[in-house]
Amino acid sequence: MTSDLVFLLPLVTVTIGAILLMLLSAFEKIRIEVSSALAMGIFAVAFLIQLVPVGPDDVRPFVSLFNGILLVSDFTRIASLIIIACGFFTAMSSISYFRQNSFATLEFFSLMTFAVSGMILLTMAQELITVFIALETVSLSIYVLVGCNRRSVLSTEAILKYLILGAFAGAFFTMGAALVYAGVGSTGFAAITDAIAMGGLLQNPALAGGLLFILFALFFKVTVFPFHAWVVDVYDGAPIPVTGFMATALKTSIFAVLANVLLLADDIRGTWVDMLFYLTVFTLFAGNLIAIGQNSLKRMLAASGIVHTGYLLIALIAVSGDSFSGSVILYYLAAYAASTLGIFASLSYLSGNDEKRRDFDDFKGLAKVRPYSAAVIAIFLLSMAGIPPTAGFMGKLYIIVTAFQAGQTALAVLGIVSSILSMWYYLRLIIAMYFHESEDAFEVSSSRSAPYCAFILAACVLAMGLYPVAI
């Protein structure tokens, strides 16, 4: 009984830390540096606790008390490691950002920590109502983080769009959960697996329809093709650290849920494999088309996030359900998170007062003035484009090899084509940085936390490229 607590300790640490930060934000004397350092400390402790190898593989902590609603496995452990690390680096780089943008509140760090605690819960939940509550906790905190710059019209537009469309997706999720309950008589994942094993998915229309609605709601959150329209404006309007946090931590947690739901039974993927195939192809190419047309860096990164969702979908279609370890998905998520967080940390440092440098043209000649920053950004861009020896290359390689092994040759080839297309907009920034004369003095933030963060992440990107994963 008491030893079960060990499995939940990272979640408990982050939640208590969030409440502590919330209480501290009531004091006027505390500076945001203190709050940020505290948040970083909480994430570091949670990360170290999560790293400690404990016990057997799949554990349901407090199984009689919680009715087996939570499941801790290697998959959830690594997913929450990525999420906690995203929280750590966001808290670290936001200090540089808030030196140049004066709308910092202490609640910022509290809400971010709450979001992380919801995300960890999301990876572990094995029951639809718990998933919904955790999802709403995460969404609510991120809505507020997106809109926390109240003087910016763009930010207000972003929060309004995200809030209304997010509420719509939440309604879809609830309707799906209700239909699943109507079909199965329970909302637990185990009961759903049993029901599918008994008669197949399509023998139970309420269950099939409910799962379809739930998938749509999750697809909305990770910006799969027909549900991607909100992402560019929302990422553009959100403060830079929040955009980085959304693009990485949120995507990791939702993909963990998607993997949990899609891999409940082979029948689920088997039934909808055609639909998933077309959604993946459209996601890859719609994302690329949108990204090619953008002039603003944040909008380009938002659109490229859609493309990366497409790669992750390829992995979800291709991984075998029997021996699912999720290593390919988690490796790609970690590689993508490191590069994306790194770019956003660099932007937090370089974008100037009130994010005045936004476009590709604003970064012309960066390499002449700030060679180290330009080099680090180039590493992240090369990793996202999938060029060796970076982690992004290895991630894409694993996904494409998995797709070939699973017989999804068309998807693998389309993945390679989309990867070549994506070079266009990643190399465009490198060309702007290296092959133009600088017109700008590139004055930077007075805090050096974001560049340190970016250098650590660049080292991670290169080191992870050397770390092999069993496919």
- Please, which of residues 325-344 interact with other proteins by CB under 8 A? none
- Nearest approach, Cβ of residue 288 and other proteins (Å): 26
* Element of type H or E holding 126: none
Give yes or no for residue 47 binding other proteins (CB under 8 A). no
- Nearest approach, Cβ of residue 272 and other proteins (Å): 14
Give yes or no for residue 32 binding other proteins (CB under 8 A). yes
What's the CA dihedral at 272, 276, 278, 283 to 10 degrees? 160
Q: Binder to other proteins among 39, 111, 286, 345 (CB under 8 A)?
A: 111
Q: Which stretch binds other proteins (CB under 8 A): 44-52, 110-118, 310-318, 434-442?
A: 110-118
- The type of residue at 72 is V
Q: Which stretch binds other proteins (CB under 8 A): 52-60, 205-213, 283-291, 406-414?
A: 205-213
- Shorter beta-carbon distance to other proteins: residue 3 or 102: 102
Largest CA distance in the chain: 68
Q: Binder to other proteins among 45, 66, 165, 229 (CB under 8 A)?
A: 66
Burial 435-461 (b: 16+ CB within 10 A, else e): eeeeebebebbebebbbebbbbbbebb
- Shorter beta-carbon distance to other proteins: residue 113 or 351: 113
Q: For the beta carbon of residue 194, count every other beta carbon within 10 angstroms.
A: 14
The CA R_g of the chain, rounded to the nearest whole Å, is 21
Q: Which of 104, 85, 84 is nearest to 94 (CA)?
A: 104
Give yes or no for residue 311 binding other proteins (CB under 8 A). no
Q: Binder to other proteins among 6, 22, 44, 427 (CB under 8 A)?
A: 22
DSSP-derived secondary structure for 101-119: S----THHHHHHHHHHHHH
Q: Which of 310, 251, 305 is nearest to 285 (CA)?
A: 310
- Nearest approach, Cβ of residue 188 and other proteins (Å): 10
- Nearest approach, Cβ of residue 232 and other proteins (Å): 21
Q: Binder to other proteins among 48, 54, 57, 102 (CB under 8 A)?
A: 102
Q: Which stretch binds other proteins (CB under 8 A): 97-105, 240-248, 430-438, 452-460?
A: 97-105
Burial 114-149 (b: 16+ CB within 10 A, else e): bbbbbbbbbbbbbbbebbbebbbbbbbbbbbbbbbb
Give yes or no for residue 105 binding other proteins (CB under 8 A). yes
Tokens read off for 90: 């966001």
Tokens read off for 266: 């082979």
Residues contacting other proteins: total by CB under 8 A: 49
Q: Map residues 152-191 to x or -, x wherever contact with other proteins holds by CB under 8 A.
A: -------x-------------------x--xx--------
Residues 159, 341: Cα–Cα separation, whole Å: 21
Give yes or no for residue 90 binding other proteins (CB under 8 A). no
Positions in the binding site for other proteins (CB under 8 A): 15, 19, 22, 28, 31-32, 65-67, 69-70, 102-108, 110-111, 114, 117-118, 121, 127, 129-130, 133-134, 136-137, 140-141, 143-144, 147-148, 150-151, 159, 179, 182-183, 204-206, 209-210, 212
